[in-house]
C-alpha cells in the first residue's frame, strides 16, 4: 500500500514539473522573439495542463500568435519600403514583448529610412517647377477617421508639391512617394468635415477629411447581448449572438479551445467542434466593450446518451447560466472532518480551495495515550502532531496536499547506571503529503503519509486516512 501511494505521489509531482518545464520553455522562446517556437511549446503545455492552467496556456498561445502575425506584417511593409507602417507594427510587437531585440533593431532601421525620406521630401518642397507636364495623381481623395483620431497615408506621384488649406485639427508628414495625414481626437459629439488641397505646379487636387464625433463621451458604456448561454449537442453546431453597444468597438476573449468565433460589426458567430468524449463539457468566453464585460457560457453534451453525474448537474443549471460554472466545476469548498493515522488515531482536518490552483489544508492528530500506559510500558508508540500547508488542484476532483509542522512524543528515559527513570517529551519536525478526492459536492476523502524528523533522517512514514464534509455557503475562493 505504501509503495502505491509513493508511486502516485511521484507521478503527480512529475506531471506538475513537466507542465511547468514546457511553460518555461515557451516563455524562453517568447522572450527570444521566436513566436512559432513559443506557440508550439504553449500548445504542448495546453494538452497536459490542468483546467486552470489551460486558460493560461490559451492566453499565451493567442499572445504568441498575435506577435507572430504583426511581425510578418511589419517585415512585409519594410520590404515594400512602407517604413511608417512597418515601424508601427514593430512597436506593437515590442509593447507586447519588450525583450524582442529583433523588433528593436528594425525600429532603428525604420527611423533611419524615415528621417532620410523626410529630409529629401522637405528639400524638394522648396523647389517649384511650373513647367512639368506630368498630371498629379493621388491614391485617395477622401479620408475618414474615428473620434479618437489616427493617421492615414496617401501615395503621390511627385515630390514637388505643397499642402494648402490644411484644417487646424490635422497635420501632414511628407515622405518620398507618399505623405501621412494625422488627425487629432474629436472630443465633441458632432461629426466634423473639412478639406485641403495638394498642389504641384498648376495641378491642384482636393482631399476631403471627415471625422466621427465622440458619441459616448460623458456617457456610460452600454453593452447588451442577445443571449448569455449557448447549448450544443455532441456533433457541434453554430450559434449567433447579437451585440449592442454605444462603444466604438467590442472584443471577444478567452474563447474555449473547442470553439471558434467570427466577429462582425453588430454580432458574432460561435462555432462548436464535435465532442468526441462521452462526458459533457462547459466553458465560457467574454465579450468586452470599454469597461463593460459580459460572460457567455457554452455547454455541449457528450456522445453518450446516458448522462454522467456532471451532465445532470449541468442540466439543472442551464436555466441559470450564472451558476453553471459553479455547479459543473465544483469550484470552491471549505470542509472540516476527521483524520486518523497508524499511531495518532484521533484528529481533526480542515481544507479549503477549489477555484484557484492553490488552496490550504491543516490537521491536528494525537494518540491521546494515558501517561500511566507509557510509564508502565503498556504502549510505546505515541505522538501528537500538527501540520499546515497548501493543496494543489490537479484535476477537478483531485488535489495534492503538502504540509510541514511540529510534533512530539512521550517516553520513559531509563538510566540503568543511576537506577532512575523519568517521564520525558521529545519534539520533532514533521512533513506530510497526500491526495484528496472530492467524491461529491458534500464529501471528500483523503489519504497520505507523515514523516517524523524529516530534517534528520528518512524514517518509515505513518499512513493516514481522513474524511471531511464541505460547509455550504461558508467560503468563496
Strand 358-366 and strand 178-183: the pairing is unpaired
Tell me, yes or no, whether 364 and 419 share the same domain: yes
Q: How many domains does the chain have?
A: 4
Looking at residue 237, its pLDDT comes to 92
Q: Quick count: other Cβ atoms within 10 Å of Cβ 248?
A: 14
> Computed from CA positions of residues 467, 472, 473, 474, in that sequence, does the dihedral angle turn out positive or negative?
negative
Domain presence at residue 217: no
Q: Quick count: other Cβ atoms within 10 Å of Cβ 161?
A: 23
Share of the chain above pLDDT 90, in %: 35
Widest pairwise Cα distance in the chain: 127
Looking at residue 384, its pLDDT comes to 92
Q: What is the mean pLDDT of the chain?
A: 82
Residues 258-303: pLDDT tens digits?
A: 999 999 989 999 999 999 888 899 999 999 988 889 999 999 998 8
Report the length, in residues, of the chain. Answer: 477
Tell me, yes or no, whether 426 and 347 share the same domain: yes
Averaged over 232-245, what is the pLDDT? 93
pLDDT higher at 460 or 385: 385
Choosing from 284, 306, 329, the residue where a domain stops is 329
Rounded CA separation 393/357 (Å): 5
Rounded CA separation 472/113 (Å): 66
Alpha helices in 125-244 (DSSP H): none
Tell me, yes or no, whether 20 and 134 share the same domain: no
Please report which confidence band the pLDDT of residue 315 belongs to, taking 50, 70 and 90 as the band edges.
very low
Domain presence at residue 125: no
Please provide residue 254's backbone torsions phi and psi, each rounded to the nearest 5 degrees.
Answer: 55, 40
Q: Which domain holds residue 10?
A: 2-118
Tell me, yes or no, whether 447 and 412 share the same domain: yes
Please report which confidence band the pLDDT of residue 336 belongs to, taking 50, 70 and 90 as the band edges.
very high
Residue-by-residue DSSP string for 340-402: EESS--EEEEEEEESSSSEEEEEEEEE----HHHHHTTS-----EEEEEEEEEE-SSSEEEEE
Q: Which residues, listed in sequence order, are joined to residue 206 by a DSSP beta bridge?
A: 197
pTM attached to this predicted model: 0.34
Domain presence at residue 82: yes
Tell me, yes or no, whether 432 and 383 share the same domain: yes
CB-facing half-sphere around the CA of 226: CA atoms within 13 A: 10
Tell me, yes or no, whether 325 and 342 share the same domain: no
Looking at residue 194, its pLDDT comes to 92
- Which residue from 173, 175, 177, 172 is spatially nearest to 209, judged by alpha carbons? 172
Terminal C-alpha separation, the chain: 34
- Which residue from 230, 213, 299 is spatially nearest to 270, judged by alpha carbons? 230
Domain presence at residue 476: no
Looking at residue 17, its pLDDT comes to 55
Please report which confidence band the pLDDT of residue 186 belongs to, taking 50, 70 and 90 as the band edges.
confident
Residues 250-259: pLDDT tens digits?
A: 999 999 999 9
Tell me, yes or no, whether 180 and 300 share the same domain: no
pLDDT over threshold 80, residue 464: yes
Looking at residue 325, its pLDDT comes to 45
**Residue 451 vs residues 10, 342, 382: alpha-carbon distances, Å:** 16, 12, 14
Q: Quick count: other Cβ atoms within 10 Å of Cβ 127?
A: 8
Q: Quick count: other Cβ atoms within 10 Å of Cβ 282?
A: 23
Q: Quick count: other Cβ atoms within 10 Å of Cβ 383?
A: 21
Please provide residue 461's backbone torsions phi and psi, each rounded to the nearest 5 degrees.
Answer: -75, 160
Choosing from 160, 183, 211, the residue where a domain stops is 211
Rounded CA separation 287/268 (Å): 10
CB-facing half-sphere around the CA of 255: CA atoms within 13 A: 19
Looking at residue 411, its pLDDT comes to 78
Tell me, yes or no, whether 106 and 178 share the same domain: no
pLDDT higher at 355 or 369: 369
Domain presence at residue 340: yes
Tell me, yes or no, whether 321 and 232 share the same domain: yes
**327 in helix, strand or coil?**
helix
Domain presence at residue 99: yes
Strand 292-300 and strand 229-232: the pairing is parallel
Please report which confidence band the pLDDT of residue 327 belongs to, taking 50, 70 and 90 as the band edges.
very low
What are the grid coordinates assigned to 467, written together?
474524511
In this structure, what CATH number is given to the domain that contains residue 100?
1.25.40
Tell me, yes or no, whether 325 and 337 share the same domain: no
Give the helix/strand (H/E) hosting 467.
strand 462-470
pLDDT over threshold 70, residue 34: yes
pLDDT higher at 322 or 96: 96
pLDDT over threshold 60, residue 233: yes
Share of the chain above pLDDT 70, in %: 83
Q: Which residues, listed in sequence order, are joined to residue 393 by a DSSP beta bridge?
A: 399
Looking at residue 133, its pLDDT comes to 57
Residues 290, 293, 294, 297: what is their CA dihedral angle, to the nearest 10 degrees? 120
Domain presence at residue 198: yes
pLDDT over threshold 80, residue 51: no
Tell me, yes or no, whether 201 and 228 share the same domain: no
Domain presence at residue 216: no
Looking at residue 21, its pLDDT comes to 76
Residues contacting 225, CB < 8 A, separation 6+: 241, 242, 243, 244, 287, 294, 296
Choosing from 182, 211, 240, the residue where a domain stops is 211
In this structure, what CATH number is given to the domain that contains residue 175?
2.60.40.10
Residues 198-232: pLDDT tens digits?
A: 998 889 999 999 998 875 445 678 999 999 999 99
Residues 58-106: pLDDT tens digits?
A: 878 888 888 888 889 999 989 888 888 889 888 988 888 888 999 899 9
Rounded CA separation 49/57 (Å): 8
Please report which confidence band the pLDDT of residue 22 belongs to, taking 50, 70 and 90 as the band edges.
confident
Tell me, yes or no, whether 368 and 460 share the same domain: yes
**241 in helix, strand or coil?**
strand
Amino acid at each position: 500500500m505504501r509503495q502505491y501511494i509513493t508511486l502516485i505521489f511521484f507521478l503527480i509531482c512529475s506531471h506538475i514539473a513537466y507542465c511547468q518545464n514546457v511553460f518555461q520553455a515557451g516563455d524562453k522562446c517568447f522572450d527570444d522573439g521566436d513566436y512559432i517556437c513559443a506557440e508550439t511549446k504553449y500548445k504542448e503545455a495546453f494538452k497536459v495542463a490542468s483546467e486552470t492552467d489551460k486558460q493560461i496556456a490559451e492566453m499565451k498561445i493567442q499572445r504568441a500568435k498575435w506577435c507572430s502575425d504583426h511581425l510578418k506584417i511589419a517585415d512585409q511593409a519594410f520590404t515594400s519600403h512602407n517604413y511608417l507602417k512597418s515601424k508601427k507594427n514593430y512597436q506593437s510587437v515590442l509593447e507586447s514583448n519588450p525583450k524582442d531585440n529583433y523588433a528593436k533593431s528594425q525600429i532603428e532601421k525604420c527611423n533611419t529610412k524615415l528621417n532620410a525620406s523626410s529630409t529629401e521630401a522637405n528639400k524638394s518642397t522648396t523647389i517649384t517647377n511650373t513647367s512639368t507636364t506630368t498630371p498629379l495623381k493621388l491614391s485617395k481623395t477622401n479620408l475618414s477617421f474615428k473620434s479618437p483620431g489616427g493617421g492615414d497615408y496617401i501615395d503621390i506621384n511627385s515630390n514637388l508639391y505643397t499642402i494648402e488649406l490644411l484644417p487646424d485639427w490635422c497635420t501632414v508628414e511628407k515622405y518620398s512617394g507618399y505623405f501621412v495625414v494625422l488627425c487629432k481626437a474629436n472630443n465633441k459629439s458632432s461629426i466634423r468635415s473639412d478639406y485641403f488641397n495638394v498642389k504641384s505646379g498648376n495641378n491642384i487636387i482636393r482631399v476631403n477629411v471627415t471625422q466621427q464625433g465622440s458619441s459616448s463621451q460623458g456617457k456610460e458604456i452600454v453593452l447588451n447581448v442577445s443571449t448569455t448561454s449557448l447549448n450544443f449537442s455532441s456533433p457541434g453546431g453554430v450559434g449567433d449572438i447579437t451585440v449592442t453597444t454605444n462603444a466604438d468597438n467590442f472584443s471577444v476573449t478567452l474563447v474555449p479551445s473547442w470553439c471558434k468565433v467570427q466577429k462582425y460589426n453588430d454580432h458574432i458567430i460561435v462555432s462548436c467542434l464535435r465532442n468526441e468524449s462521452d462526458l459533457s463539457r462547459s466553458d465560457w468566453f467574454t465579450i468586452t466593450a470599454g469597461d463593460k464585460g459580459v460572460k457567455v457560457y457554452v455547454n455541449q453534451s457528450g456522445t453518450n446518451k446516458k448522462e454522467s453525474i456532471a451532465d445532470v448537474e449541468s442540466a439543472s443549471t442551464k436555466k441559470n447560466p450564472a451558476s453553471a460554472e459553479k455547479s459543473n466545476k465544483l469550484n470552491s469548498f471549505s470542509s472540516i472532518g476527521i483524520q486518523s493515522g497508524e499511531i495518532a488515531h484521533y484528529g481533526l482536518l480542515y481544507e479549503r480551495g477549489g477555484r484557484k490552483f492553490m488552496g490550504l489544508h491543516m490537521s491536528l492528530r494525537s494518540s491521546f495515550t494515558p501517561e500511566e500506559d507509557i510509564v508502565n510500558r503498556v504502549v510505546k508508540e505515541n505522538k501528537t502532531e500538527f501540520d499546515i500547508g497548501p493543496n494543489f488542484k490537479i484535476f477537478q476532483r483531485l488535489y495534492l496536499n503538502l504540509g510541514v509542522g511540529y510534533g512530539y512524543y512521550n517516553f520513559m528515559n531509563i538510566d540503568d547506571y543511576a537506577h532512575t527513570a523519568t517521564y520525558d517529551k521529545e519534539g520533532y519536525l514533521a512533513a506530510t503529503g497526500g491526495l484528496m478526492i472530492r467524491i461529491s459536492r458534500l464529501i471528500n476523502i483523503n489519504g497520505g503519509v507523515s514523516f517524523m524528523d524529516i530534517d534528520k533522517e528518512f524514517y518509515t512514514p505513518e499512513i493516514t486516512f481522513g474524511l471531511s464534509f464541505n460547509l455550504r455557503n461558508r467560503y468563496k475562493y
